[in-house]
Amino acid sequence: MAATLKKVKASMMNAIHDLPLLVARDEGFFRDQGLDVEILRTPGSGQRDSDHQALRSNIFERTMEALYDQGACDQFRMCEWGVMKRAVESNVETGHRPAKIVALGSAMSTFALVSDPAAGVYEPEQLKGKPIGVSPFNGSHFTTLKLLEGFLKREQIRTTFAGTMKERIEALRRGEVAAISLMEPWISYAEKLGLRVIMESHSTRSEAAGEELDGPTLRKMFDAEAEAARAIQKDPAKHARYLVEEAGGLIELKDLRLGRILNAPPEPYTRERFQHTYEWTRDWGLVPPGATYENTVDNRAWQ
């Protein structure tokens, strides 16, 4: 008699953030670990026809966070700073289902600052005091701050809400913003349109979960995602279809810069990493004070 697979519900938004999750499901890596992982797809900023539910200023009103808050999913992942914000606020403020950071990884995301050549922007210093289109409290927001604070004073960096990835590109081409923050597949689409990449960087993912999801199950999930990361690295073109599909026909596989697809296996979230990331987000006023490593991080998958 076949063993019963343990069911887990995981939430995702954008393919570049969640590529190992998708590959682990479709290649059978979760099943190999004895897991039946149901992936709940929620609106993010990357789908061509995404709505603004994923961009509300109150992060707990966004689709993915609301599903987690209501107990409809067990686990989620997004940019490291985004997970930090959600984990901190769910634990230091009342009224929310607590989430803990349970791993660093497994996906990476490339984010880029993109400008229209007609604007004459060639270097990040030229963006001083000029509006840069992002989505608030998401990877595009946090990575923009990270990228620019090496070139500008903090008070010179001006971010503004500019909708989904597709809407940002449209706003840029209308001249409403000086630059925009994009991730794949939208960087490749912007390049296809002739827009200019000013600078870019990989952005690390983090994983979060509720206390109901036990350590051994999390470890099995992470082992499957690590296997998926290796598979993607070996043949990125095979798995890039998820990104092409997300752009809804605006690009083909040949347009996608496969070198930007990078994934790393999940690993424990260290105290040193927590202190560095939490203090950075707190000093930018993006998270409240009062968080500690003990009330925000749980590396039970490795215990």
Has residue 1 got a pLDDT over 50? no
Reported as a single tens digit per residue, the pLDDT across 178-192 is 999 999 999 999 999
pTM for the whole structure: 0.91
Judged on CB neighbours under 10 Å (0-12, 13-18, 19+), 258 is middle
- Pairwise CA distance, residues 229 & 70, whole Å: 30
- Pairwise CA distance, residues 159 & 72, whole Å: 33
Q: What is the mean pLDDT of residues 262-275?
A: 96
Q: What is the mean pLDDT of residues 157-183?
A: 95
- Pairwise CA distance, residues 89 & 72, whole Å: 19
Q: Which of 43-52, 77-86, 192-201 has the highest mean pLDDT?
A: 192-201
Of 141, 103, 108, 128, the residue nearest 287 (C-alpha) = 141
Has residue 2 got a pLDDT over 60? no
- Taking a C-beta distance cutoff of 8 angstroms, is the pair 164, 50 a contact? yes
Of 286, 284, 49, 40, the residue nearest 163 (C-alpha) = 49
DSSP assignment of 54-84 equals GG-SSGGGSHHHHHHHTTS-SEEEEEHHHHH
- Average model confidence (pLDDT) across the chain: 91
Q: What are the C-alpha distances in Å from 199 to residues 48, 86, 184, 190, 293? A: 23, 27, 14, 13, 32
Of the listed ranges 38-47, 48-57, 262-271, the least confidently predicted one is 48-57
Question: How, if at all, do strands 100-115 and 196-209 pair?
Answer: antiparallel
- Taking a C-beta distance cutoff of 8 angstroms, is the pair 207, 265 a contact? no
Name the more confident of 300 and 58: 300
- Pairwise CA distance, residues 166 & 47, whole Å: 8
List of E strands, 151-209: 158-161, 179-183, 196-209
Of the listed ranges 44-58, 141-155, 187-201, the least confidently predicted one is 44-58
For residues 148-186, one letter each, b for 16 or more C-beta atoms within 10 angstroms of the residue's C-beta and e for the rest, the string is beeebeeeebbbeebbbbbbbbebbbeeebbbbbbbbbb
Q: Which of 1-5, 49-53, 184-188 has the highest mean pLDDT?
A: 184-188
Question: What are residue 267's phi and psi, to 5 degrees?
Answer: -145, 165
Q: How confident is the model at residue 4 (pLDDT cuts 50, 70, 90)?
A: confident
What is residue 94's predicted lDDT score, i.e. its pLDDT?
Answer: 84
What is residue 288's predicted lDDT score, i.e. its pLDDT?
Answer: 92
Has residue 244 got a pLDDT over 70? yes
- Pairwise CA distance, residues 301 & 217, whole Å: 8
Reported as a single tens digit per residue, the pLDDT across 75-115 is 988 889 889 999 999 988 888 899 999 999 888 888 999 99
